[in-house]
Amino acid sequence: MSGPARRGPAPPPGAARPRPRTGLRSAVGGPGALRAAVPAAAAVLAALLAAAAGWSVRNAPEPSHAGRAPARTGAEQAGPDKPSSTPYALQQAEFVVGPGAWSPASGPHSAPRPPIVSREQWGADERLRHEPGEYAHAVRVVFVHHTDNPNDYDCAEVPSLLRAMYGDHATGRDWDDIGYNFLVDRCGTVYEGRAGGTDRPVVGAHAQGFNKGSAGIAAIGTFHEGTPVPAALTDAIARLVAWKLGLAGVDPRGRAALVSTNSMSRYRKGDRAVFDTVSGHRDGDPTDCPGAAMAERLPEIRQKAARLQGR
């Protein structure tokens, strides 16, 4: 039978008493356990930092291009992402660290915010919306679209065009709001699209499978092959791209990786896809949007946006 614990001799008067075991060292059980705990704590910290930066730190498989559907119009391939079994963390952080993925800018690169006509100014009826806005961690890719409207509209009529489009998207298509994050008319005016804040990473309903982590900019009009594209329109898109991507330090001439959240895109659900940071809708979905004429202008838009960021 064991007896009571023996006490050592009392310290001489004036001697320092041993300090009680407190804090992390005591909690983990001594130096050996502390050394074992440090790597785990570092891993947790790294995961938190990666999530804050909008990355999913994992080795993703290369995309499969099998089973692509025939091209469709932009409207058919827009809309919110369908419910997915993709893990929540992956849906919230679609940016994959790896070869060809987005990497942080080496220094601050930003551009001035262009004038943007607000939803209130173009007359959006906010009673049509019922769901709160959804947000990604950051915008790493811009998808450029066209709206398939006739090109001979009067720019003074654009607010009424937007109200009609908003009603169609919100109620006719059941997207709860206009699908695009921004719209630009042929006169170079930029309009706020989907609600939630122009400077925030609002998840739109414009690119099936790749709405999270992207912004949709729609050129009002139809820009199939051979159609003239107004310089005022492309210049305004470049200014908008420079500012929007600059908020996250993204180079408009770079490339970024997103993960498809459903198989209605050109990639199967869960596949990793690497895009130009300024891409056409057709790069992610089986559609001809934004039209061949607008697609031909994307290199020019990338270069001008980069210059506006001071690159």
The whole-angstrom separation of Cα 182 and Cα 143 is 11
Which homologous superfamily does the CATH classification assign to the domain defined by 58-308? Peptidoglycan recognition protein-like (3.40.80.10)
Distances (CA, A) of 20 to 17, 26, 97, 182: 9, 9, 44, 61
CA 140-144-149 angle, to 5 degrees, is 155
Our CA dihedral for 311, 180, 139, 199, rounded to 10 degrees, sits at: 80
User: Distance from first CA to last CA of the chain, Å, rounded?
Assistant: 79
The whole-angstrom separation of Cα 260 and Cα 308 is 30
| pLDDT at residue number 80 | 64
The DSSP letter of residue 196 is S
The DSSP letter of residue 21 is -
The whole-angstrom separation of Cα 220 and Cα 223 is 9
| pLDDT at residue number 109 | 87
The ranges of the chain with pLDDT < 50 are 1-12, 14-74, 76, 82-107
Taking only the tens place, the pLDDT of each residue in 152-206 is 999 999 999 999 999 999 999 999 999 999 999 999 999 999 999 999 999 999 9
| pLDDT at residue number 4 | 42
- The single-letter code of the amino acid at 209 is G
| pLDDT at residue number 165 | 98
